[in-house]
Amino acid sequence: MPRKGVAIKMSKLRSIGMLILLCLTLMQIACAQNPPAVQRRLYVAVPGIRNELQYGGQGILVLDIDHGHRFVKRLPVATLDARNQPLAIKGICASAVTERLYVSTTADLTCVDLADDHIVWKKTYPGGCDRMSITPDGKTLYVPSLEGAHWNVVDGLSGALVTQIVPQSGAHNTICAPDGRHVYLAGLRSPTLTVAQTATHTAEKTVGPFGGNIRPFTVNGAGTRGYMCVNGLLGFEVADLQAGTVVHRVVVAGFPTGSTKRHGCPSHGIGLTPDEKELWVVDAHNSRIHVFDATATPPRQLQSITLCDQPGWITFGIDGTLAYPSTGDIVDVATHKVVGGLKDEAGCAVQSEKLLEIDFSGSKVRAAGNQFGIGQLR
**pLDDT tens digits along 352-362:** 999 999 999 99
pTM of the model: 0.90
- pLDDT at residue 11, rounded to an integer: 61
Does a structural domain hold residue 21? no
Q: Report the half-sphere exposure of 61 (CA within 13 A, side-chain side).
A: 28
Integer Cα distance of 371 and 325 in angstroms: 11
- Tell me the C-alpha to C-alpha distance, in Å, between residue 289 and each of 93, 249, 314: 23, 18, 9
Does a structural domain hold residue 130? yes
- pLDDT at residue 81, rounded to an integer: 87
Pairing verdict, β 202-207 and 214-219: unpaired
DSSP letter, residue 86: B
Does a structural domain hold residue 24? no
Q: Report the half-sphere exposure of 375 (CA within 13 A, side-chain side).
A: 22
What percent of the chain is modeled with pLDDT above 90?
87
- pLDDT at residue 78, rounded to an integer: 84
Length of the chain: 378
Integer Cα distance of 355 and 121 in angstroms: 20
- pLDDT at residue 367, rounded to an integer: 98
Does a structural domain hold residue 375? no
Q: Which domain holds residue 256?
A: 38-368
- pLDDT at residue 1, rounded to an integer: 45
- Tell me the C-alpha to C-alpha distance, in Å, between residue 45 and each of 21, 152, 298: 45, 22, 34
- 146 burial via Cβ count (<10 Å: 0-12, 13-18, 19+): middle
- pLDDT at residue 120, rounded to an integer: 98
Does a structural domain hold residue 293? yes
Does a structural domain hold residue 28? no
- pLDDT at residue 3, rounded to an integer: 57
Helix (H), strand (E) at residue 202: strand 202-207
Report residues of the chain scoring pLDDT below 70: 1-36
**pLDDT tens digits along 161-191:** 999 999 999 999 999 999 999 999 999 999 9
How many domains is the chain partitioned into structurally?
1
Is the preceding omega at residue 209 within 30 degrees of 0, hence cis?
Answer: yes
Is the preceding omega at residue 298 within 30 degrees of 0, hence cis?
Answer: yes
**pLDDT tens digits along 229-265:** 999 999 999 999 999 999 999 999 999 999 999 999 9
CATH code at position 273: 2.130.10.10
- pLDDT at residue 16, rounded to an integer: 62
Does a structural domain hold residue 18? no
